[in-house]
Amino acid sequence: MSPISRRHLLGAAAGLAAIATVPPRALAQGGGAAPAAAPAAPTGPFKLPSLGYAYNALEPHIDARTMEIHYTRHHQAYVNSLNNFAKDNPQIAEKPMTEVLANLNAVPEAIRTGVRNNMGGHANHTMFWEIMSPSGGKPSSDVLTAIDRDLGGVDKMKSDVNAKGLGVFGSGWVFVTVDKDGKLAIEARPNQDTPIMDGKRALFGNDVWEHAYYLNYQNRRADYLNAWWNTVNWTKITERYAAAKAGTLGV
């Protein structure tokens, strides 16, 4: 029998390590069939919110593996970074995120960029998981009235949001924003910037970072943007619209 090479041993060890990093539910069910709860995270004031549905719940529009990686690795990384900043700067967790993000100049300069990126990412993703569901319905009531009034109707809104999302160079988001009077607008933001930074609120928004769609759509961002509308939870968006008008909408 030929001796086992060092390269073979290293390869086997790497394979075992890779398997060890895959959550048991993912191995057993390809992304999980039960509602996804927030995974264990380092202690700190910032927490990963519950996803509220299974990783595979939004298929075929968003695949289970993308959802799992997006939620447990990307969003979790923002939360972990914020908790690290909060160890020496606890003041960033003593106020609502909306207040911190709207007053970034008050954040110590040494951590300002990090807080902007990671708290922006935490806020954006918290909103993102909330406004999606397996059966989102259609816009109605006050939200539909506002869409017709401010954005030219549902079809035009979708077309304009998709165009803005497609036009983001590199990584970023496209949002439908809402002001305190209930007026809607569409805008794109780079990286993890959020309308909250300008005192606005996101009624809803779509993540156009490649990690949000690349496993399934590769470079076909337009296909992802079109498919994403099938996941939008209009019931939750209606609740967010009412909260915005009441002045109680958070992230």
CB-based contact 25:65 (threshold 8 Å)? no
In a domain, 242, yes or no: yes
> How many structural domains is the chain composed of?
1
214 sits in which H/E element:
helix 214-217
Tokens of 52: 């509220």
Tell me the pLDDT band of 137, cut-offs 50, 70 and 90: confident
DSSP SS3 for 89: coil
Domain with 85 in it: 63-251
Place of tokens 């949000």: 212
Whole-angstrom distance, CA of residue 119 vs CA of residue 46: 10
In a domain, 192, yes or no: yes
Whole-angstrom distance, CA of residue 42 vs CA of residue 85: 13
Tokens of 80: 């972990």
Query: Minimum mean pLDDT among 35-39, 59-63, 87-91, 167-171: which range?
Result: 35-39
Tokens of 238: 């209606």
Beta-strand (E) ranges in the chain? 172-178, 184-190, 201-207
Average pLDDT on 82-94 reads 97
Alpha helices (runs of H) in 89-153, residue ranges in sequence order: 97-102, 109-130, 141-151
Name 158's Cβ contacts closer than 8 Å, sequence gap at least 6: 229
In a domain, 44, yes or no: no
Output the domain CATH number for residue 172: 3.55.40.20
Q: What pLDDT, on the 0 to 100 scale, is given for residue 43?
A: 81
Average pLDDT, the chain: 88
Burial classification of residue 227, based on how many CB atoms lie within 10 Å of its CB (0-12 exposed, 13-18 middle, 19 or more buried): middle
DSSP SS3 for 145: helix
In a domain, 231, yes or no: yes
Query: What value does the CA radius of gyration of the chain take, rounded to a whole number of Å?
Result: 20
CB-based contact 107:100 (threshold 8 Å)? yes
DSSP SS3 for 15: helix
More confident residue, 3 or 88: 88
> For the chain, how far is it from start to end, CA to CA, in angstroms?
63
Express each pLDDT in 154-190 by its tens digit.
Answer: 999 999 999 999 999 999 999 999 999 999 999 999 9
